[in-house]
Amino acid sequence: MLKVENLNVHYGKIHAIKGIDFEVNDGEIVTLIGANGAGKSTTLKTLSGLLRPTEGTIVFDDQDLTKVRPSSIPGLGIAQVPEGRQVFAEMSVLENLTMGAYIRNDKDGIESDLNQIFDYFPRLKERIRQSAGTLSGGEQQMLAMGRAMITRPKLMLLDEPSMGLAPILVDEIFSMIRTINDNGTTVLLVEQNANKALQIADRAYVLETGTVKLSGKASDLLANDEVRSAYLGG
């Protein structure tokens, strides 16, 4: 589904991503873990076209995304849930979700998907007319995920979904990520909570200062002494 080869990304003179390779297969949850500044979020922003690589290829369903306009990427089946939620604070819950459907024109299908999102996140239905800026952090995360889901993505990019959330809400968000995946959406997850990420992922890549340091089955990395020491507090 997604294959990244020799990806290099610069911020001016700073070489942020240094020739990384990774892939995400259809139906998987793959996670990128690592410390702050490792290049995880930069990688996701490059996949979604917000940043342009200086070298390398990003092939999604046989199309090289480096040659695709960023505005066209959602229409190919990729949706990003950005770090910090980035909801439209002055708009209602419903308006935020409807904004996610801007690439669609099937009114009945949108209505059906809205109902499914409200089944996933009942609190959003309870607050359907409420301004997004007045929601709690957990509710805003649910809204950002719902906004991505309504595009009907093949691949969902999740950037630090647990950031700033209470532990009980973190559990709820990770449970929903698994449910979304079980219902057919492939997931690429960037997450500092390595323990939670490795528990739900099929495979993982450990990023360190812009390079892939380790990769493998998530269950193997969860038991890896080096990973446990560096990222799991073990």
pLDDT in tens, 133-167: 999 999 999 999 999 999 999 999 999 999 888 88
The verdict on residue 121 lying in a domain is: no
Residue span of the structural domain in which 80 resides: 2-87+152-231
Provide the strand spans (E) within 92-170. 155-159
The verdict on residue 131 lying in a domain is: no
What pTM value is reported for the model? 0.93
Given this model, what pLDDT does residue 233 score? Answer: 67
Cα–Cα distance, 155 to 39 (Å, whole number): 20
Given this model, what pLDDT does residue 124 score? Answer: 95
The verdict on residue 66 lying in a domain is: yes
- Please give the structure tokens belonging to residue 100: 């996610």
The verdict on residue 122 lying in a domain is: no
The verdict on residue 26 lying in a domain is: yes
The verdict on residue 16 lying in a domain is: yes
CATH number at residue 55: 3.40.50.300
Say whether 1 sits in a helix, a strand or coil: coil
Residue ranges of the chain with per-residue pLDDT less than 50: none
Angle between helices 93-100 and 107-120 in degrees, nearest 10: 130
Given this model, what pLDDT does residue 107 score? Answer: 85
Cα–Cα distance, 162 to 169 (Å, whole number): 8
The verdict on residue 199 lying in a domain is: yes
The tally of domains found in the chain comes to 1
- Please give the structure tokens belonging to residue 56: 């390398």
The verdict on residue 213 lying in a domain is: yes
Given this model, what pLDDT does residue 105 score? Answer: 84
